[in-house]
């Protein structure tokens, strides 16, 4: 055993020597390189003398602002020359005097007085004289025709517009299917307490115009509970139909809508 171990260790000794020799050579080489570098003189650089900077402050003169233009002197207004006012004399026209009434006097000839007749008896007789009759007729002036009052022309009678056509009677239709359709269906809000513990059935008669707006809603079959009926009516009045049309013409409608209100198992 000792002989074999001596044979194994014998060749390793010269290898160690070679390695140590190589390491020593490397160290010596490094030391030489460092010594050579240390011997090299570093180049001398001349110091550069810099002159100090001379700074000169220059004051910037701002250009003077242009003066605003002087307002032009307004020309003096000459006082207006008063215009001569002409005096106009108002001449009052004298109305012509009213026409005088002309009286026409008709002269009547005097009747001849008969001569006295002598009688046998010498009796003094008195002459009979017929009194003169003068009749004067006053003729009234001709009546002046008075101007007739001008009556304004009577305005033409106002044209009464034609009476609007009577609204078409609502058509009885069914809801759903081939009948009228809901655009906003009623959504009643109720609970089991409102139903009083049992299923309820309500029928509401509804009327709507051409646009589908509900105009009337009434209970045609009550649930037996007025408060529940009122809740259903409020839901129906807030709903809306699609316009019901026949041949492109919209008509008002009337329909019956049943509601079956069931109990909620959740309460």
Three-class DSSP labels, the chain: CHHHHHHHHCCHHHHHHHHHHHHHHHHHHHHHHHHHHHHCCCCCCCCCCCCCCCCCCCCCCCCCCCCCCCCCCCCCCCCCCCCCCCCCCCCCCCCCCCCCCCCCCCCCCCCCCCCCCCCCCCCCCCCCCCCCCCCCCCCCCCCCCCCCCCCCCCCCCCCCCCCCCCCCCCEECCECCCCECEEECCCCCCCHHHHCCCCEEEEEEEEECCCCEEEEEEEEECCCCHHHHHHHHHHHHCCEECCEEECCEEECEEEEEEEEECCCCCC
Q: Is residue 34 part of a domain?
A: no
Among the residue ranges 74-78, 112-116, 196-200, 211-215, the one predicted with the least confidence is 112-116
The count of structural domains within the chain is: 1
Q: Is residue 75 part of a domain?
A: no
What percent of the chain is predicted at pLDDT more than 70?
57
Q: Is residue 194 part of a domain?
A: yes
Q: Is residue 235 part of a domain?
A: yes
Say if residues 241 and 182 touch (Cβ distance below 8 Å): yes
Mean confidence (pLDDT) of the chain: 74
Q: Is residue 130 part of a domain?
A: no
Which pLDDT band, with edges at 50, 70 and 90, does 87 fall under? low
Which pLDDT band, with edges at 50, 70 and 90, does 132 fall under? very low
Q: Is residue 212 part of a domain?
A: yes
For 110-136, what is the mean pLDDT? Answer: 46
Find the CATH number of the domain harbouring 194: 3.30.2420.10
Q: Tens digits of per-residue pLDDT, 16-71?
A: 888 999 999 999 988 988 888 877 766 666 667 777 777 777 777 666 666 777 76
Predicted pLDDT of residue 227? 93
Q: Is residue 120 part of a domain?
A: no
Taking the whole predicted model, whether its pTM rises above 0.85 is answered as: no
Q: Is residue 137 part of a domain?
A: no
Predicted pLDDT of residue 95? 66
Domain residue limits at 206: 171-261
């Amino acid at each position: 055993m000792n002989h074999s171990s001596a044979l194994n260790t014998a060749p390793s000794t010269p290898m160690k020597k070679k390695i140590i020799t190589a390491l020593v050579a490397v160290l010596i080489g490094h030391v030489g390189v460092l010594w050579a570098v240390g011997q090299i003189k570093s180049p001398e650089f001349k110091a550069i003398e810099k002159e100090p900077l001379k700074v000169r402050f220059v004051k910037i003169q701002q250009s003077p602002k242009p003066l605003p233009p002087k307002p032009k002197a307004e020309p003096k207004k000459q006082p207006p020359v008063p215009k001569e006012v002409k005096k106009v004399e108002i001449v009052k026209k004298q109305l012509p005097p009213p026409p005088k009434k002309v009286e026409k006097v008709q002269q009547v000839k005097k009747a001849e007085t008969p001569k006295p007749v002598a009688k046998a008896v010498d009796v003094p007789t008195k002459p009979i004289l017929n009194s003169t009759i003068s009749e004067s007729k006053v003729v009234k002036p001709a009546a002046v025709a008075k101007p007739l009052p001008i009556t304004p022309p009577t305005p033409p009678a106002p044209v009464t517009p034609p009476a609007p056509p009577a609204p078409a009677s609502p058509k009885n239709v069914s809801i759903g299917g081939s009948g009228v359709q809901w655009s906003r269906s009623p959504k009643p809000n109720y609970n089991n307490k409102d139903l009083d513990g049992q299923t309820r059935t309500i029928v509401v008669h509804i009327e709507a115009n051409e646009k589908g707006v509900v105009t009337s809603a009434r209970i045609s079959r009550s649930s037996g509970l007025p408060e529940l009926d009122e809740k259903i009516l409020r839901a129906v009045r807030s709903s809306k139909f699609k316009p019901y049309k026949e041949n492109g013409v919209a008509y008002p409608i009337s329909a019956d809508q049943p509601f079956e209100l069931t109990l909620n198992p959740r309460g």
